[in-house]
Structure 1
Amino acid sequence: MKRTPLWWRRLIAWFTPRRSLIVVEGDTLPKRLPLWSLVMARDDGEDWSVGLRCPCGCGQRLEMILLKGVKPRWDISVDPKGHVSLHPSVWLRDGCKSHFWVKGGKIVWCE
């Protein structure tokens, strides 16, 4: 499978809307994830995981664990304007091999 050039991914990221955060109750994510949003599963006030569709366009469903004590794990933050950030970066070792950050609701591609 041919990878999309980095310059093209960055151009598309510039023009796409900022991603928002949708919180669902329960310890699992819904089967279908929205195109432009991140979805966080929260059960009894505890954040379990966050999911999104791969921003490269391959359609792969990505799920990152937020639970403390689990490795690997991610942290999610929302600024006062409602823009979501995800730390650390997301790096797919298989498939499309995308590597990106979610910062301020925008996708920031890594080299």
Structure 2
Amino acid sequence: MTRKPLWWRRFVAALTPRRKLKIVDGDMLPKKLPPWTLVIARDDGEDWSVGMRCPCGCGQRLEMVVLKEVKPRWDVSTDTHGHVTLHPSVWLREGCRSHFWIRSGKVIWCD
């Protein structure tokens, strides 16, 4: 797969809807992740991981651990409008090599 130029990824990101947050019961994410949605696996009130499809369009399934005692780990939050933020950035070192932030539900591509 050819990597899309940064200007194209930013253009598409500006046109796509804000990502939403969905919480599922259990310590595992569903096999199929919905588009434009971050999914949190929550078991007994504890968040385990957050998953999403790669926003570049390659279709890769991304899973980030949110357990406090694990490293590396990510934090997920929502603002008063329900827009989701994921911190720190996601950087794929293999495959499509995407590097991005999710801020207020929008994908912010890194150079």
| TM-score category of the 2 structures, normalised to the smaller one | over 0.9
User: What is the match of residue 42 of structure 2?
Assistant: 42
Q: What is the Cα-based RMSD across aligned positions, in Å?
A: 0.5
User: What is the match of residue 33 of structure 2?
Assistant: 33
Moved over 6 A (4+): none
Amino acid at match of 2:32: R
Matches of 2:50 and 2:2 in 1, distance apart? 28
Gapped runs of 5+ residues in structure 1? Answer: none
Shift of 1:69: 1.3
Shift of 1:2: 2.0
1:70-89 residue pairs with structure 2 within 5 A? 70-89=70-89
1:1-111 residue pairs with structure 2 within 5 A? 1-111=1-111
Identity %: 71
Relative to the length of structure 1, the TM-score reads: 0.99
Amino acid at match of 1:14: A
Shift of 1:63: 0.2
Relative to the length of structure 2, the TM-score reads: 0.99
